[in-house]
Amino acid sequence: MSPAIVLSVVFGSLYSSIFHLWQGKTLKMLVMYLAAGIIGFWGGQAIATALGMNLYTIGTTHFIEASAVSWLALFLTRWLQGK
C-alpha cells in the first residue's frame, strides 16, 4: 500500500476525530466527518500534485495542502448540515 494512501487515512481520520470532538454529536456525524476528512486529505494531495505545489512534503505526500483541504472539507460538511 502506498505511503500517501496510509497518511491520507491516518491524518484524515485524526482531523475528523478532532473535529467530531469539537462539533459532533452523533455516530452518523462521525461517519460523515471521517468520509469528508479522508476524501478531503486525498483531494488536497491530488490538487497539490497536479499543480506542482511543494510547501512541505512527507515523502510524496503534500502535507500542508492536503491538511488545508481536509479541514475545508470538514467545515463544508458541517455548513451543509446546517449546524
Element (H or E) spanning 55, and its range?
none
Domain ranges of the chain: 3-80
pLDDT (tens digit, 9 = 90+) per residue, 4-41? Answer: 888 889 999 999 999 999 998 899 999 999 999 999 99
pLDDT (tens digit, 9 = 90+) per residue, 53-83? Answer: 888 888 888 899 999 999 999 999 999 988 6
Residue type, 10: V
pTM of the model: 0.90
Give the bridge partners for 58, in sequence order.
61
